[in-house]
Structure 1
């Protein structure tokens, strides 16, 4: 068993002047030339970067010969909230290829967006593969298999031609080998690389031509399809011109500016809210500022419906 080293304090929750909890983690900030601008913890150690790797996998699928319209490509990078729009677009994408929801090997699930979940439950809908937040990636995987005459059956097997290609793409974009392969929550292979490698890969996607540029432009054009309304990745891409951003389970988040400056973070306890704030901290090290970013840098802690504290960068 590999046990990762704990990080350093990054984000704290303060209520009524008392720091209740501190989230430790790892953070890497690369400048436009790829040099380290800021580092905290041990970003050189390998992590499962979870859904933050979806843009890398999307590049691999385009390299295989897959062609997708920008909305479909954005969904291929997505951990979508499960809105009606998300589900309908993916269903149409499957139908256009002669496929159905039953061809997806991701597990049935409920929407991950709170508002989307409430709407879904009000409609008395059951768990479905379309609602599962990774269904856009799985749909793109199936389409890549069709384009290459690869078998649809077993498309999640690490030995499948598609997954071998995606592992190679992740290693290429990160400029380092994949240390080990696990299984993600959606059943797909999951590749362990360092946070520094994740940041390098995002910088390359944000600046390179070819499939990398196609992925970046799709994410920038359709940030609401990459995540969903009220989600940090969507808000950041709408707020910062040219940014690409992608969150992942267990407190992972990565982002890159159009000049190649990049940030990657992993929160030790898996807190997504802390990862959202830490990636903003990283962007500030790259000189990103403005009132909209300031609003994202600190969140209020409410008591009785009014602010009684804050969640934000560690102050001391």
Structure 2
């Protein structure tokens, strides 16, 4: 296991000249998923999706992939790259994966976050994320049964925040305000987001955890995840991608759909975000980006599976992700599945 207290290693990242920021407007989303119960469409989820070819060209799109939006936690892999560029002391792969995680609050997640902090004599009191209960439902119930309350370590972004405060300490920057948008650390992360997405940030706000959140386009975010997925080993992008692939359950949690998807599709790099966001990329650069307009998480994975099939992933591998059962009286009476421009209508499905 790598010594977490090793002197920071700086690399010379590949830089791009960012294009103009995406336009802040109401996105022109389109229908992407149908909720079908008993042969009748009872719900429609709108959104936008993009599929990139290995050369970076747009292979398929539906909706509005150029409008500004907030990627939420789907930004974390980019921020992890930014932390390495800013001087994050070297971490082993398990800890680096947690840096890019929206974890479930399992014991291994909390232990690893503590390990990141302990390496430099820091503690949970140095974190500035909001206290919360574990994200995973089973873990949350267990946590409450044990009499625990909301803590900063249990909050799903604690790995990112632990790495942020560790980087700030390594660089000699103030610790108490490391999460402020004007802090040198956050300015460095914003620069990395612009470099990887290839566009200026449209707006900056505060994410649920308390860290800055940057608005880019779905197209730009998908380009960025493709850059990580295709990066050479040993580069900052390549190190983050390798760690996430090696430890999918550290990036999310046991049984979570993102971890299962990364396990199912060889070489896939994937990250989800609140409000119906998902990005995923293959080692050859093919990539998909999904935004569900109403933020419904239930539509995220079926639409992602359909997009990956468009990118050339074997539909058989994706079958377990392509539909969500609709239950009535304890039995399956329908399903939620991709529709509209993304997937042809099944023969038995009625017209909208």
Q: TM-score, normalised by structure 1?
A: 0.97
- Hey, what's the Cα distance between the residues in 1 that align with 2:139 and 2:306? 28
1:192-207 to 2 correspondences below 5 Å: 192-207=215-230
Tell me by how many angstroms 1:61 deviates: 0.6
The corresponding residue for 2:266 is 241
The corresponding residue for 2:328 is 303
The corresponding residue for 1:171 is 194
- Hey, what's the Cα distance between the residues in 2 that align with 1:123 and 1:289? 43
Provide the alpha-carbon RMSD of the alignment: 1.3
Tell me by how many angstroms 1:21 deviates: 0.8
The corresponding residue for 2:254 is 229
Tell me by how many angstroms 1:3 deviates: 4.6
- Hey, what's the Cα distance between the residues in 2 that align with 1:6 and 1:82? 36
- Hey, what's the Cα distance between the residues in 2 that align with 1:184 and 1:302? 34
1:69-108 to 2 correspondences below 5 Å: 69-108=92-131
- Hey, what's the Cα distance between the residues in 1 that align with 2:260 and 2:236? 24
The corresponding residue for 1:17 is 39
The corresponding residue for 1:58 is 80
- Hey, what's the Cα distance between the residues in 1 that align with 2:332 and 2:268? 30
User: Which has more radius of gyration?
Assistant: 2
Q: Deviations over 1:176-198 (max 9, x none)?
A: 11111111001111111100000
1:33-182 to 2 correspondences below 5 Å: 33-66=55-88, 67-182=90-205
Q: Deviations over 1:116-167 (max 9, x none)?
A: 1121122121111111000010001011111211111110111100000000
The corresponding residue for 1:261 is 286
Q: Deviations over 1:191-216 (max 9, x none)?
A: 11100000100010011230000000
Paired residues of 2:323 and 2:335 also in contact (CA < 8 A): yes
Paired residues of 2:302 and 2:323 also in contact (CA < 8 A): yes
SS in 2 for 1:33: coil
Paired residues of 1:11 and 1:24 also in contact (CA < 8 A): yes
Instruction: Say if 2:49 is the partner of 1:27.
Output: yes
After the TM superposition, which segments of 4 or more aligned residues of structure 1 sit over 6 Å from their partners?
A: none
The gaps in structure 1 that reach 5 residues or longer are none
Q: Deviations over 1:218-241 (max 9, x none)?
A: 000000000112222111110111
SS in 1 for 2:91: coil
The corresponding residue for 2:26 is 4
- Hey, what's the Cα distance between the residues in 2 that align with 1:4 and 1:275? 20
SS in 2 for 1:12: strand
The corresponding residue for 1:283 is 308
- Hey, what's the Cα distance between the residues in 1 that align with 2:34 and 2:127? 40
The gaps in structure 2 that reach 5 residues or longer are 1-22, 340-344, 346-350
- Hey, what's the Cα distance between the residues in 2 that align with 1:64 and 1:139? 14
**Aligned residue pair count:** 316
The corresponding residue for 1:273 is 298
Q: TM-score, normalised by structure 2?
A: 0.87
